[in-house]
Amino acid sequence: MRKLFLPIFALLGVAALAPAAEVGTQKQPIEITATGDTNYQEGIATAHGDVVIHAGDTDIYCDSARYNPKTHEIFSDGHVRIYRTVGLFVGDHAIYNTETKIIQAVDMRTDKNPYLVSGSNVTTISEGAFLVKKGAFTTHDSSNPDFRLQAKTVRVYENDRVIFQNATFYVRNIPVFWWPYLYQSLDDAFSYMISPAFLSSWGPSMLTRVSMPITDDIKTQIRLDYRWKRGVAFGLEPDMRYGTDKKSWARIRTYFLQDNNPDINTTSVPRGDLSEGRYRVSLQSRTNFTEDIYGIADITKLSDAFVLQDFYQSEFQLNPQPDNVVAVTKTHPIYTLTAIARFQANVFFEQTERLPEVVLDIVRTPLFGGPIFYEGETGIADLHRSFGTGSTSQDYATLRFDSFHQFLYPNTYFGWLSVVPRVGFRATYYDQTRDLGKTPLIPSDNPLIPDFLSVDLTQPVQYGGPTFRTVVNAGVEASFKVSREWEGAQNSSLGLDGLRHIFQPFTNFSWVSSSNSNPASILQFDRYQPATQLQPIDFPQFTSVDSIDSWTIWRLGVRNRLQTRRDDMTVSWLEVETYIDVNFNNPFDKTQYSNLFNKINFNPVPWMSFGIASQVPVFEKGFTEIDTNVSIQPIANLQVSLAHRYLNSNPFFDNSSLYVLSGYYRFNDNWGIGVREQYEGTTGVIEEQRFSVYRDLTSWVASVGAIIRDNGGGAKEYGVLVTFTLKALPKFSFDLNFDPGGTNQTQ
């Protein structure tokens, strides 16, 4: 092996080249070694055969090389590999300047974890940055990548960003998308999803989604969908970060389509005439103005009441009538001051408008550092109850001033008995009420339906002028705990490593007296909402301000908790909670005793859980509800869950016996299947069936799913979805959900 090494001063005084020498500059010596010939003629050093060149933080390997000390350029040929602290460059020919550290190369590629770049010409433009002409960009480490971005120019800034001009996205050799300009942050995910789909209400469809950053602080999703029965749809969904430390954010969701068949309806609910121009525009944001003042916005404008149901089915199931609210909040350790504006942006939905409302909440805090605690809530609101288009109910409004104050004296007696007495006062002013003398009331004989719900909202509102209502409340909570341990309780099959039993009786007595003899005279805004669970009997947890009536209720129960050790932690092995209300006077339940409630959670081993929440009428007439869920993972690759809800004789909800079975099995690293069945026993209808197959394709995840829905009285809906999800850069995602939700497959 021969070696060349000469500092710059040697080049000035030495005419002959030693067999092993150094060449370079005073700033940076150059060391050249090779297995073949090395020589130095006319100021140019040359080397042949497995050439290795060390120049500062750069190592060059090639078949042959020439170094010109005057221009500081190294010309390398054949299997060129240039290693620098910023990465590896590989090609057949390259020119490297030891002073400027600029690389000029033809047909060179670079592997910058976790991505690969190649091009017809690679040039270093600054430290840690290079320019690629006719470049290709991919994260798939293969000579024949599954996907790539092909661009006229690619500028790569190490660990920061990549900028493309005139870029085309290829799947294998098929072009699928083009951008004139594309900015890719190396800290954020780029992903592309293409989903061939079929839904009976859509026909054959193609759903596409491209996720990419615009700048370091703005990311977006571009959606372009085609449905054979409905037409073309387009959506743009930017996500933005801004403000101090980028802690403020905003999300915009837009979707527009010219619906060729807006009258398609797979349900039994009539729709009427819908416009062909359909859309949704949404904004969710949080802005931190200062460390203790922030604002939020949650606004959704829809073209009609059914656009979410037709094209955002998953979102519709969770939130069929989206809110429209803007608020500013001032926070403090002991209080929160909030100004709210809630408005009816979609006239086809009912909305309780607050135009505006200002509320001061004071958290439970000790008075003057003493044993007595205070909490309160005071607010003023301009309230409007605006019913939806086509409703037979008449809108109404009032100005409300409400102020609540409560004192508590928590204490522990005998070292084990916790007692928290409380007393409170509330005053509320309404500038408009309902004149009950001119309003027909039809009380129900069902003891679970409050009398103030007997107002017929289809009749014109008969106003009764202003009123001032006072409310006094008092009560006491008490509880204690008794425990015992059994270290000998050892059973690996049952997941037991010692056992501790905690027994906790509890009670809560609540008394409320209202100066208003009938809440029906109060115009209802923050109103009683029917539910299967018991209403809160404490203030301020009871938030139905306009439905407050006098009551005397005693709630009592007991908690049993069995704990064991697992992985050096204490975990709940079995929990059982039982409670009941004794109704001396309850306007929401006119029986003497409520249902008896039982809640059981059983987690014997990490791979199995069981839960049941039930309420049954034991001492009085009532309704029955039993909710059961079981989840097991008997082996690492199999997960199965079963849930059942039984509801009978509730005056506000239909009888139901709903079964939901779901499971997922992973055959190996590449294949998996999922299934979900939903069956309503009271009607004998299989409401929904889903089947999915997942395949990992190295850089992509492919899934094929089928769905059948019976929406009750309408046409049965069925569909097929094929999804290809590109694993993101630098992280990767796995879309395991199947729902032809149009533009939001992952919900």
Determine what percent of the chain is predicted with pLDDT higher than 70: 89
pLDDT band per the 50, 70, 90 thresholds, residue 703: confident
Phi, psi of 308 (to 5 degrees): -70, -40
Domain membership flag for residue 227: no
Domain membership flag for residue 210: no
CA distances from 481 to 232, 408, 661, 741 (A): 64, 21, 38, 49
Ranking 158-167, 337-346, 538-547 by mean pLDDT, the lowest is 158-167
Could you tell me where the beta strands, DSSP code E, fall in 493-595? 496-514, 551-566, 569-585
The residue whose two tokens read 């480490």 is: 141
Instruction: Give residue-wise pLDDT tens across range 401-455.
Output: 999 999 999 999 999 999 999 999 999 999 999 999 888 888 888 999 998 888 8
Ranking 23-27, 197-201, 258-262, 407-411 by mean pLDDT, the lowest is 23-27
The CATH number of residue 17's host domain is 2.60.450
Residues 6+ apart with CB under 8 A from 475: 421, 422, 508, 509, 510, 511, 537, 538
Structure tokens at 616: 């049954």
- In this predicted structure, the answer to whether residue 156 has a pLDDT above a threshold of 70 is yes
Measured CA to CA, the distance from residue 118 to residue 132 in angstroms comes to 7
Residues 6+ apart with CB under 8 A from 382: 354, 355, 356, 357, 397, 399
- Number of domains within the chain: 1
Determine what percent of the chain is predicted with pLDDT higher than 90: 56
**Mean pLDDT rounded to a whole number for the chain:** 86
Residues 6+ apart with CB under 8 A from 568: none
Domain membership flag for residue 117: no
Domain membership flag for residue 67: yes
Measured CA to CA, the distance from residue 537 to residue 288 in angstroms comes to 35
pLDDT band per the 50, 70, 90 thresholds, residue 175: confident
CA atoms within 13 A on the CB side of 317: 6
Domain of 93?
Answer: 2-101
The answer to whether 132 and 150 have CB atoms below 8 angstroms apart is no
Domain membership flag for residue 19: yes
Domain membership flag for residue 720: no
Mean pLDDT value across residues 207-228: 87
- In this predicted structure, the answer to whether residue 503 has a pLDDT above a threshold of 50 is yes
Measured CA to CA, the distance from residue 564 to residue 572 in angstroms comes to 7
CA atoms within 13 A on the CB side of 325: 18
Domain membership flag for residue 9: yes
What's CA 687's distance to the chain center, in Å?
26
Domain membership flag for residue 88: yes
Say if pTM beats, i.e. exceeds, 0.85. no
Measured CA to CA, the distance from residue 612 to residue 602 in angstroms comes to 9
Measured CA to CA, the distance from residue 482 to residue 480 in angstroms comes to 7
The residue whose two tokens read 């006077």 is: 585
The answer to whether 3 and 49 have CB atoms below 8 angstroms apart is no
- In this predicted structure, the answer to whether residue 8 has a pLDDT above a threshold of 50 is no
- In this predicted structure, the answer to whether residue 536 has a pLDDT above a threshold of 70 is yes
